[in-house]
Amino acid sequence: EELVERGEFLEHAWVFDRYYGTSHSAVDSHRRAGRDVILEIDWQGARQIREQVSDAVSVFVLPPSREALRERLQGRGQDAEEVIERRMRDAEAEISHYAEYDYVIINDDFEDALASLMGVVRAERCRLVRRREAMDAFAERLMGKIDENGAEQ
């Protein structure tokens, strides 16, 4: 709660009777190093991120069915049945926010879902808005306007 008060989280939420959050410093250090950052967060956190990070890309991963979701929760073997029932009830509210996201992936088959996520990451890396400066220089070299060292021709 003190860290939240000091604004040290990029996002935070009270979910399933616990606080969750992502620190600014952890994300910022990875982004400065040029790394992609993937956060596994709920809709509340995703909304906070979209409000603060202009180039954030959001991906909502849906189960293929309610039955599959229940089987996955039970298959973990870590929650009592009453916790699973609560998670199933809460899932409806969570799922209702899918339309707020840039991409939606249905996790029917793990390998296919992973390939879809990798496709999103690759496509977003190619967006001109993310690569404008480097692409401008590349295009000028291709057009013969500057040499490999950036000197005008």
133 phi and psi angles, rounded to 5 deg: -60, -45
Q: Average model confidence (pLDDT) for the chain?
A: 89
> Contact, 61 vs 101, CB < 8 A?
no
Residue 38 has which token pair?
């993937």
pLDDT of 118 over the 80 cut: yes
Mean pLDDT of 131-137: 80
pLDDT of residue 153: 73
- pLDDT (tens digit per residue) in 25-67: 999 999 888 889 999 998 989 999 999 898 899 999 999 999 9
Name the pTM for this structure: 0.78
The torsion angle over the Cα atoms of residues 104, 105, 108 and 112, rounded to 10 degrees, is 160
